[in-house]
């Protein structure tokens, strides 16, 4: 654990997700309050995602004692997958895993944030999160990555996107929520991002995706596809509450330049045309603990195509199916044009969205590089 | 050695150089007829290139018994560099190394071409090339890559560029030269490229760079920067013999579509404004063998900025300096705009050009992926 320096002082910075990766960290799903019917559908979706990522990078999958049998059944034949034993509260590797930084000599290190289940006592989504909070440090130690300690600063991996060249995207709704770092000013929070992501500029989008229980993580709303270019979740429907949220983001992006002084090219990526809502029959499959945020039938889920994952050779894009089949195709066609160097793979992701996030939320990239 | 199948029949194809790489193969320079004054300046330039590539990928450097001391002196402190003993005729890893192919499951294999020193008895550049011709197979075996045997088909790595999606760029001047495969028709040569590069379409550019002694390899003239986009060596000087050669390339590229049916976006990359020529004092440093192509004072070298190398985090661009400093800056600025996800690193490369090639010619990328 590196206690007396920061990534910034040591010349480390967070690379873009579109840069070459060593691998991807994931957690096998299990929590009954997130994944209905013993995570049956969720595990199928996770396994499909793991298979697709493992084509071009190593996938490290944390598995609990209880989850081991199903993980082995679905994954043991897949090359490039490494199962390892770890107990966690849930399966959001993006938010509980380390954030990785690298330097110009190809050395990779980890950053550990304080994790409080997206808001702690204020509006956190579960009552205890000790195992989740210990997970990043455990994984970094196991894999031999030196680690910077950013705690007690509270942050999740889904709350940030980096262009790899000094620019970080966040939302005010999330980073300024009283559940994270209520004693820090916006300027002090920005300073933390500079220090621990080696960043030079933070672009603050006001809002994220409507009804996103992470306080509107940026990774569901806006993402770099390369330096100078972003995709932004969009709708043309002025009656949708998403409309004003997306417009507010667009206004900021069009007025801003990045850390290198470039104007940003903004590509609109329309959200599914029909709201994706929890169904009565799905609701029966959940089993909620005391203190845990619950779901209701008809509740609108935070469906967005921006929640994709860049693997070394593909874009794993959430697909929602059903009445949104046309929307899925539109998103696929947009991403295919924007990312010609990767194969765009739509993955049926309703089962993951029912847990409260999507493909980007359950993955955490590990940049290619040396640990020493 | 895989004798009864081809990359095409096994679902393997040549990835784009812009895709994530495991490493880079190079050869430490020594040949007295290529590298004047005991390769002193060339070795400095090679070492600088190796250091820059090793930031983001492993560099495998073949070193002869005679070259070992200088290689160790200049490289032993650089992390990510692996020196290994091999005897070769010269240092053109692009042309004597294997070409690597991969499949959709992340498996990487090698392809072995017949090498005849760029033209054999017809117009080859040296009298014997046995060691060079054995090098690809030696390296693939050492590193555990399964290998396809394309010999007796004659080809060099510098004669092809792939977009990773089924399109291959070549020049007619090179591939149809009587020194390569005189008994094969253009269609038969195209078939070989389909079979061994897993390609679906070959785009034939008529010519390459003026006075290029490789019979105008495409890698000095035109390169993919991503699928659907190429850079093309260019001049606006109608009196330069390069003008018609570049125009001929442009006409083909503007009329063609790639294997996916896309129109190609062509970016012009102007060659150095002032011809780069061999100087009298440099000429004294060479020592030519019998049967070897020689140099003359005032001879124009095939200087082009297209002969760059994509490492995982950078574009290593040849810089010629002196009166071409403005041209260097122009090329750097164009590449920086076209490749925002990589750092553009101009490398003083006159010492390499004196050997007859440039940065791309002395490097051979190894795609990221498994050997088994």
Q: How many CB pairs under 8 A join A and B?
A: 72
Rounded CA gap, B98 and B110, in Å? 6
Residue B328 in contact with residue B308, Cβ under 8 Å? no
Minimal C-alpha gap between A187 and chain B (Å): 28
Cis, peptide link before residue A359, omega less than 30° from 0:
no
Q: Which residues contact A191 (CB under 8 A, 6 or more apart)?
A: none
Sequence-distant (≥ 6) Cβ neighbours of residue A308 within 8 angstroms = A223, A315, A316, A317, A318, A335, A359, A360
- Listed as ranges, residues in chain B with pLDDT below 70 are none
Mean of the per-residue pLDDT values of chain A = 97
Give the Cα separation of A206 and B285 in Å (integer).
65
Residue A145: which pLDDT band, with cuts at 50, 70 and 90?
A: very high
**Chain Cα centroid distance, residue B285:** 25
Mutation for B interface: A11, A24, A56, most B CBs within 10 A? A56
- Tell me the chain B residues in contact with residue A104 when contact means C-beta distances shorter than 8 Å: 55
- On whether the CB atoms of residues A233 and A269 are closer than 8 A, the answer is yes
Contact in structure between B206 and B249 (CB atoms under 8 Å): yes
* Residues facing residue B223 across a β-bridge: B231
The 3-state secondary structure of chain A reads CECCCCHHHHCCECCCCCCCEEEEEEECCCCCCCCHHHHHHHHHHHHHHHHHHHCCCEEEEEECCCCHHHHHHHHCCCCCEEEEECCCCCCCHHHHCCEEEECCCCEEEEEEEECCCCCHHHHCCCCCCHHHHHHHHHHHHHHCCCEEEEEEEECCHHHCEECCCCEEEEEHHHHCCCCCCCCCCHHHHHHHHHHHHCCCEEEEECCCCCCCCCCCCHHHCEEEEECCEEEEEECCCCCCHHHHHHHHHHHHHHHCECCCCCECEEEEEECCCCCCECCHHHHCCCCCCCCCCCCCCCCECCCCCCCCEECCCEEEEEECCHHHHHHHHHHHHHHHHHCCCCEEEEEECHHHHCCCCCHHHHCEEEECCECC
Tell which residue, A136, A93, A309, has the closest CA to residue A219: A309
**Best interface-test mutation with B: which of A11, A106, A370 has the largest number of B CBs within 10 A?**
A106
The Cα–Cα gap between B65 and B73 comes to: 14
Residue-wise pLDDT for A297-327, tens only, equals: 899 999 999 999 999 999 999 999 999 999 9
Q: Give residue A18's pLDDT.
A: 98
CA distance A33 to chain B (A): 35
pLDDT band at A4 (very low <50, low <70, confident <90, very high): confident
Residues on chain A touching B56 (C-beta within 8 angstroms): 20, 106, 368-369
Domains with residue ranges and CATH for chain B: 7-367 (3.75.10.10)
Chain A residues with CB under 8 Å of B228 CB are: 340
| Counts for chain B of helices (H) and strands (E), in that order | 12, 16
Angle ∠(A331,A335,A336) on CA atoms, nearest 5: 115
Contact at CB, B20 and A20, closer than 8 angstroms: yes
Assess contact for A313 and A285: CB atoms under 8 A.
no
Q: Is the ipTM of this complex over 0.90?
A: no
- Least confident piece of the model among A24-33, A283-292, B214-223: A283-292
Q: Which residues of chain A neighbour B370 with C-beta distances below 8 Å?
A: 79-80
- The pLDDT value given to residue A255: 97
CA–CA min distance B96, chain A (Å) = 26
The predicted structure's pLDDT at residue B2: 84
Question: Which of A20, A104, A262 minimises the CB distance to B368?
Answer: A20
- Which has more pLDDT, A295 or A169? A169
pTM over 0.90: yes
Active site residues of A: 361
Smallest Cβ–Cβ distance between B341 and the set A18, A262, A312 belongs to A18
Q: Under DSSP, is residue B138 helix (H, G, I), strand (E, B) or coil?
A: helix
A304, with CB counted inside 10 A (0-12, 13-18, 19+), is buried
Assess contact for B95 and B361: CB atoms under 8 A: yes
B24 is catalytic: no
Taking a C-beta distance cutoff of 8 angstroms, is the pair A271, A353 a contact?
no
Q: What is the tens place of the pLDDT at every residue in A35-79?
A: 999 999 999 999 999 999 999 999 999 999 999 999 999 999 999
Neighbouring C-beta atoms of residue B121, cutoff 10 Å:
9
**Does residue A42 contact residue A337 with C-beta atoms inside 8 Å?**
no
Q: What is the pLDDT of residues A73-109, one digit of tens each?
A: 999 999 999 999 999 999 999 999 999 999 999 999 9
B341 neighbourhood in chain A, CB within 8 Å: 16, 18-19, 164, 226-227
Would you state the pLDDT for residue A1? 84
**Whole-number pLDDT of residue B130:** 98
Query: Quick check: B372 and A49 in contact, CB under 8 A?
Result: no
Running DSSP on this structure, what letter comes out for residue B104? T
């Amino acid at each position: 654990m590196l206690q007396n320096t920061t990534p910034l002082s040591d010349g480390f910075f967070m690379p873009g997700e579109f840069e070459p990766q060593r691998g991807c960290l994931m957690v096998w799903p299990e929590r009954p309050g997130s994944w209905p019917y013993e995570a049956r559908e969720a595990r199928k979706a996770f396994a499909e995602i793991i298979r697709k990522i493992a084509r071009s990078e190593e996938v490290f999958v944390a598995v609990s004692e209880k989850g081991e049998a199903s993980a082995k059944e679905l994954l043991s034949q897949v090359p490039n997958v490494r199962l390892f034993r770890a107990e966690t509260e849930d399966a959001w590797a993006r938010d509980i895993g380390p954030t990785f930084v690298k330097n110009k000599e190809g050395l990779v290190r980890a950053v550990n944030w304080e994790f409080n289940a997206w808001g702690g006592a204020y509006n956190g989504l579960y009552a205890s999160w000790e195992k989740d909070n210990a997970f990043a440090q455990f994984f970094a130690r196991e894999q031999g990555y030196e680690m910077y300690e950013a705690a007690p600063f509270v942050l999740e991996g889904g709350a940030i996107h980096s262009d790899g060249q000094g620019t970080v995207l966040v939302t005010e709704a999330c980073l300024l929520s009283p559940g994270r770092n209520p004693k820090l000013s916006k300027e002090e929070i920005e300073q933390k991002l500079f220090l621990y992501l080696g960043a030079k500029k933070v672009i603050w989008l006001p809002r994220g995706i409507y009804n996103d229980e992470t306080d509107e993580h940026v990774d569901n709303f806006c993402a770099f596809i390369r330096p100078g270019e972003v995709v932004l979740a969009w709708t043309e429907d002025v009656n949708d509450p998403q409309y004003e949220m997306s417009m507010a983001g667009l206004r900021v992006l069009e007025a801003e330049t990045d850390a290198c002084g470039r104007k940003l090219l903004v590509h609109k990526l329309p959200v599914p045309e029909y709201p994706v809502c929890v169904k009565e029959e799905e609701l029966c499959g959940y089993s909620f603990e005391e203190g845990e945020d619950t779901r209701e039938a008809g509740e609108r889920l935070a469906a967005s195509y921006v929640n994709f994952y860049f693997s070394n050779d593909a874009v794993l894009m959430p697909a929602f199916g059903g009445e949104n089949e046309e929307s899925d195709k539109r998103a696929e066609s947009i991403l295919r044009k924007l990312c010609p160097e990767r194969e765009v793979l739509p993955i049926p992701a309703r089962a993951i969205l029912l847990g409260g996030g999507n493909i980007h939320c359950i993955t955490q990239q590990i940049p290619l590089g040396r640990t020493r």
